[in-house]
Structure 1
Amino acid sequence: MRHQLNFACEGATLAASLDEAAGSTGLLIVSGGNEIRSGAHRGMAMLAARIAGAGYPVFRFDRRGIGDSEGANGGFESSGPDIAAAIAAFRNAGPHVSRIFAFGNCDAASALLLHQPLALDGLIVANPWTYDGDAEEAEEPALPPASAIRARYLARLKDPRSLLRLFKGEVDLRKLFRGLSALKQAPQRRAPDSLADRLDATIAELSCPVTILLATGDRTAQAFIESCGPSLDYIDKNPGTVRVERLASMSHSFAGDDGEWLAERILAALAAQASAIA
């Protein structure tokens, strides 16, 4: 059963939705960008229903200045108090919930990482935002990172159909050369105290279970892979509290059939926590 509620955050009243379930492990969904708690095309509302249907209560909320919530919208970098207040409200609304995982996509994923420590038992972060500035305002580069372009062209060179299209003159050569020119660019060094640098440092220090979900064809995920590649390589070789799972998709929000993959990964993380406690 779903019902609406309000809670306080630094003098403002915030709106929230709770999908009830009997489980003692719950999921807090943090919305990315300036999206309201239902998400784009009600994606987060449908995800909440799916997770609650599997027995895990789900809490969603509008941060200050968004949707039905009061206050000024300060962006994801100032959302720490909103997330902390939402965690407390979740525990108050569901007193049987003893463990809370949080999920966020894009700059909501970055917010969950940046504002640690939070009173959470685990994180599930998808396609973390690494460009400095809010996701709604900052401009992404015209081209994906060079490593993503390189991987794409290597895959095409191994594909007979792509080679046939090239020989038949069906490939836009201007676009091809534009992409190849990007391979000559030296990787940009992260500026000290950049968002990517802070995220990388946070990931290295996390002690709670963390699952990082990446849609490898998404430009935001590609930028995260480019910026935090050494950390991801270490995680892949030394699996521990942090796990990385990849989906060959261009969908930033895991739309369509990708939504089932997302739900399954979230449920797997929640079930692993529940079984570890048991």
Structure 2
Amino acid sequence: MQIERPLIIQADTEHTAILHEGNSDTGVLVLVGGPQYRVGSHRQFVKLSRALAAQQLPSLRFDFAGMGDSAGRVADFYQRDAEITVAINAFFSAQSQLKRIVLWGLCDAASAAMLYCYRHQDPRISGLVLLNPWVRSNESLAQVKLKHYYLQRLTDKAFWQKLFSGGLNLSSSLRDFGQTWRQSRQKSKPLTQQRGDNINAQNYTGYMLKGWQQFTGNSLLISSGNDLTAQEFLALCRGNPPWQQQLSKAEHQHLDAANHTFSTAQWRQTVEQLTLDFVQRLAGADPGLQQDS
């Protein structure tokens, strides 16, 4: 019988988490990206934890401050290290058999996990599961839009029908295209030119890279084909040798048709199975797990 119970974690503010108990010494800390609720596509976090618990792998679903049922104010994703530390400590206290955990995050939660590894060399973390990490900048978004959005529109029959029927504001579209092209030519400031350790919205990707480089455990990257966020991340890796090197060290699974949140049952179950196999390998058990459909 699976046991799920809430944890009230007192820190600077009151956090709420849901513990899914298991007897394995390897657990999964599920970090939620962005202000989410637990229905729709993000029901996957509940289903993922239950799939893990079915194999006796414990997990903790943690609400950051100001999100879900946690009190306080929402912090930027690059300022969540203290909260992640609180969650890790609570997880180990609640499941005394734990020896290691995996950080699991989608979107900016994946980015937060990588930034945590920059600030903390935590031996308790043996794995990262990163889904469509957030590396948004004006430059990267513009480059991806040029390649995946504008080119796709040129092959779209509806676009040409709209153009020739007069339903398209051509001057506005050309102006948007020109602005996107100019942004795509901008160059981000190298991390080596940053002062101190003040991680912010302009420089966080460089620190994400450093965190990934410093991390000595195993990584699983799951990317979506139908998602600009994923395309930005993969483009960053393709165009930057240090990022490419880190990606080559990780296990990379690409779901070509999937959207950002893996919002169909098939995509969700694939993510569950990939996560299960990855965590079981870290735990030293055989993969090939069975799960409920």
Closer, same or farther: CA 228–97 of 1 in aligned 2, 3 Å: same
**Equivalent-residue separation in structure 2 for 1:64 and 1:235 (angstroms):** 31
The aligned runs of 1:173-192 (5 Å cut-off) are 188-192=186-190
Contact 1:146 1:185 survives alignment (8 Å): no
Closer, same or farther: CA 35–186 of 1 in aligned 2, 3 Å: closer
- The residue aligned with 2:66 is 65
- The residue aligned with 2:134 is 129
Contact 1:235 1:244 survives alignment (8 Å): no
SS at match of 1:224: helix
Deviation at 1:77, TM superposition (A): 1.6
The aligned runs of 1:130-145 (5 Å cut-off) are 130-131=135-136, 141=141, 144-145=144-145
Deviation string 1:158-182 (CA, Å, 9 cap, x unpaired) is: xxxx79x79xx7797889x979987
Closer, same or farther: CA 262–125 of 1 in aligned 2, 3 Å: same
Pick from 3, 6, 14: which aligns with 1:4? 6
Q: Answer yes or no: is 1:200 the counterpart of 2:209.
A: yes
**Equivalent-residue separation in structure 2 for 1:187 and 1:258 (angstroms):** 35
What is the TM-score with the length of structure 1 in the denominator? Answer: 0.78
Deviation at 1:5, TM superposition (A): 1.3
Deviation at 1:44, TM superposition (A): 0.8
What is the TM-score with the length of structure 2 in the denominator? Answer: 0.74
Contact 1:131 1:195 survives alignment (8 Å): no
SS at match of 2:284: helix
Deviation at 1:212, TM superposition (A): 1.4
Contact 1:27 1:58 survives alignment (8 Å): yes
Pick from 257, 265, 276: which aligns with 1:249? 257
Q: Answer yes or no: is 1:234 the counterpart of 2:245.
A: yes
Which residue identity does 2:8 align to in structure 1? N
Deviation at 1:197, TM superposition (A): 2.5
Contact 1:196 1:228 survives alignment (8 Å): no
Which residue identity does 1:224 align to in structure 2? F
Identity %: 25
Q: Answer yes or no: is 1:95 the counterpart of 2:92.
A: no
Closer, same or farther: CA 144–186 of 1 in aligned 2, 3 Å: closer
Closer, same or farther: CA 14–243 of 1 in aligned 2, 3 Å: same
- The residue aligned with 1:265 is 274
Deviation at 1:76, TM superposition (A): 1.2
Higher relative CO (Cα under 8 Å, sequence separation at least 6) belongs to 2
Contact 2:36 2:42 survives alignment (8 Å): no
Deviation string 1:234-259 (CA, Å, 9 cap, x unpaired) is: 356xx54x222211034111111110
**Equivalent-residue separation in structure 2 for 1:41 and 1:210 (angstroms):** 22
Contact 2:27 2:102 survives alignment (8 Å): yes
Closer, same or farther: CA 20–172 of 1 in aligned 2, 3 Å: farther
- The residue aligned with 1:55 is 56
**Equivalent-residue separation in structure 1 for 2:37 and 2:60 (angstroms):** 13
Unpaired segments of 5 or more residues in structure 1? 133-137
Deviation at 1:202, TM superposition (A): 2.5
**Equivalent-residue separation in structure 1 for 2:185 and 2:215 (angstroms):** 27
Contact 2:41 2:263 survives alignment (8 Å): no
**Equivalent-residue separation in structure 2 for 1:30 and 1:39 (angstroms):** 17
Which residue identity does 1:234 align to in structure 2? Q
Deviation at 1:221, TM superposition (A): 0.7
Which residue identity does 2:4 align to in structure 1? R
Which residue identity does 1:92 align to in structure 2? S
**How many residues in Structure 1 have an aligned counterpart in Structure 2?**
257
Deviation at 1:94, TM superposition (A): 0.6
The aligned runs of 1:155-170 (5 Å cut-off) are none
Deviation at 1:81, TM superposition (A): 0.8
The aligned runs of 1:103-114 (5 Å cut-off) are 103-114=104-115
Deviation at 1:91, TM superposition (A): 0.5
Pick from 190, 214, 225: which aligns with 2:234? 225
Range moving further from structure 2, 32-41 or 178-187: 178-187
